[in-house]
Amino acid sequence: MASSPYFSLAVLFVAALCFGLTPLALAWLWAQVYSPAKPNAIKNAIYECGLESKGDAWVQFRSAYYLYAIIFLIFDVEAVFLLPFAVAFTGLGLAACLAMLVFVLLLVEGLAWAWAKGVLTWA
Partner 1 sequence: MAVDEGLKIELGKQGVLVTSLQELYNWGRRNSIWPMQFGLACCAIEMIATTMARYDLARFGAEVFRPSPRQADMMIISGTVTKKMAPQVVRLYNQMAEPKYVIAMGACAISGGPFKQGYNVLKGIDRYIPVDVHIPGCPPRPEALLDAFITLQKKIDGQHLTGEGRPRHLDAEAQGEFPVPVQGEHDLEPASNPGVWTVPVVIR
The reply to whether 48 sits near partner 1 by the rule CB under 8 A is yes
Residues 67-106 that bind partner 1 (CB under 8 A): none
> Radius of gyration over alpha carbons of the chain, in Å?
33
Asked if 100 and 42 count as a contact pair (C-beta separation under 8 A), the reply is no
Complete DSSP assignment for 30-99: HHHHT------TTTT-S--SSSPP-S-S--PPPHHHHHHHHHHHHHHHHHHHHHHHHHTGGG--HHHHHH
The reply to whether 116 sits near partner 1 by the rule CB under 8 A is no
Asked if 45 and 53 count as a contact pair (C-beta separation under 8 A), the reply is yes
Stretch that binds partner 1, among 13-21, 40-48, 85-93, 99-107 (CB under 8 A): 40-48
Stretch that binds partner 1, among 4-12, 15-23, 28-36, 53-61 (CB under 8 A): 28-36
Q: Using CB under 8 A, pick the residue from 3, 6, 19, 43 that binds partner 1.
A: 43
In whole angstroms, how close is the CB of 58 to partner 1 at the nearest point? Answer: 23
Name the residues that contact partner 1, by CB under 8 A.
Answer: 34-36, 38, 40, 42-43, 45, 48, 50-52
